[in-house]
Amino acid sequence: MSGELVLVTGGSGFLGAHCILDLLKAGYRVRTTVRSAKREADVLAMLKAGGAEPGAVPSFAIADLMADAGWPRAVAGCDYVLHVASPFPPGVPKHEDELIIPAREGALRVLRSARDAGVKRVVLTSSFAAIGYGRLPSGGRPFTEENWTDPAGKVSAYVKSKTLAERAAWDFIAAEGGALELAVVNPVGIFGPVLGADHSTSTEFIQRMMDGAMPGLPRLSFGVVDVRDVVDLHLRAMTNPAARGERFLAVAGDFMTVREMAETLRARLGDAAARVSTRMLPDWLVRFVGLFSAEAAQIVPELGKAKNASNEKAVRMLGWAPRPREDALVATGESLIGLGLLKTSKQRGGKPR
């Protein structure tokens, strides 16, 4: 382990920065890609916020998912690659190809470069999005790694992009991967300690709840997992021989309703979560708003759907043991408070309710 070089793509992202932290702590040498040298300072600031030892820093390579330039240099000499980078915008793209093309072509660029450089294994960060948007398993059973989303169905651009990117990755390995090995991690909503103002769509959801920007809650449920446990699963998938050619769902327990999430924040964070609403919005209102809001329209098909996913495979094969889902939510809130990323009472306006 000591001295082995790992490339983490997208080191300026929420998951990418946490990957770098854990790899450095474990004694690996780390290189990470950023799209611009301007982002290097952001990565270093997040690592400092995450408690990185002084002097424990990655090297940097400039590379973009949409261009070939930079990738051969980025993977040169690497033993492993964690391909974490992928677009996940908070809004709705004007065209689905804005997400699909970077996700699919970016994954293929990384795999091709890794193969040519003699990398041992790539761990691709996919998503529950590539698993849980097809036909619901019969008998109320949870989704597993055997399930695949149907990209031809009525799914969002993000869901489609993750599905097509992962399919393309497996097809590449089968047809032209050579000695390169692939393992895939499929996380649900990733929460946990935020390291800076630029975090993730999932953690931004908690931020909006705590800021009082969500006066009502839609009838939704989704999976929760802590970012530190997602990183742990990546590292296990990177080195465990049994992980070759496998995909692993990263989920901590049953899915939670949005109301359960709100109640957890209020119960565990006290006054800091006083603006978290527990009021439920009627489905008809969410559907009505969806007529005018593309973001609201995306959640309409999921209203009231009872989904679940199983982590049995990761637990059994890799010894993975995620922390409780409630702890992941609370850690998100605590880090937002600690970094001063919540609006003050004056900025929020009005009184807490």
pLDDT in tens, 292-336: 887 788 888 888 888 999 999 999 999 999 999 999 999 999 999
Alpha helices for 9-156 (secondary structure H):
14-25, 40-49, 71-75, 97-117
Lowest mean pLDDT among 81-90, 93-102, 145-154: 81-90
Single-letter amino acid, residue 87: P
Q: Please give the pLDDT value at position 344.
A: 60
As to burial, measured by CB atoms within 10 angstroms (0-12 exposed, 13-18 middle, 19+ buried), residue 114 is buried
CA atoms within 13 A on the CB side of 268: 17
Alpha carbon distance 234, 172 (integer Å): 20
Please name the fold of domain 5-198+224-253+308-324: Rossmann fold (3.40.50)
Is 1 a residue whose pLDDT tops 70? Answer: no
* Spatial contact of 236 and 228, defined as CB atoms under 8 Å apart: no
| Percent of the chain surpassing pLDDT 90 | 77
Alpha carbon distance 315, 318 (integer Å): 6
Is 199 a residue whose pLDDT tops 90? Answer: no
Domain boundary assignment for the chain: 5-198+224-253+308-324
The confidence band for 98, taking pLDDT boundaries of 50, 70 and 90, is confident
What residues act catalytically? 162
> What average pLDDT does the structure give for the chain?
91
Is 115 a residue whose pLDDT tops 90? Answer: yes
Is 2 a residue whose pLDDT tops 70? Answer: no
Is 289 a residue whose pLDDT tops 90? Answer: no
The confidence band for 206, taking pLDDT boundaries of 50, 70 and 90, is very high
The confidence band for 67, taking pLDDT boundaries of 50, 70 and 90, is very high
For 27-52, the DSSP string reads T-EEEEEESSGGGHHHHHHHHHHTTP
| Percent of the chain surpassing pLDDT 70 | 95
